Amino acid sequence: MEINQQSFKSEVLESDLPVLVDFWASWCGPCQMMGPILDKLEKDLAKTIKVAKVNIDDNPDLASQYAIMSIPALFLFQNGKVVKQWLGLQNGQTLKEEIGQALSS
């Protein structure tokens, strides 16, 4: 799900489910490689979390608000707050395990 400045509050901050937000850009190679990993993660954890993408070029205010300096940057939100974050290309299985740990603590 692609979100922007206007939909961020309702889709992420006010979401009933935890949301994994991928801050990315189309020119970013590792971001492109992260795409299929996130697609699989979204299928595997469909009832547990939502996965959303924010293009930092189209939404510079959000990138600034969350101090995005390097991409891909993954932020896990729960109840409107960031509970975990990752920088750079991630291994899908490790990411799945770390999300589980973050949500259970």
Residues forming the active site:
28, 31
Please, are residues 23 and 77 in contact by the beta-carbon 8 Å criterion?
no
Print the SS3 string covering 17-55.
Answer: CCEEEEEECCCCHHHHHHHHHHHHHHHHCCCCCEEEEEE
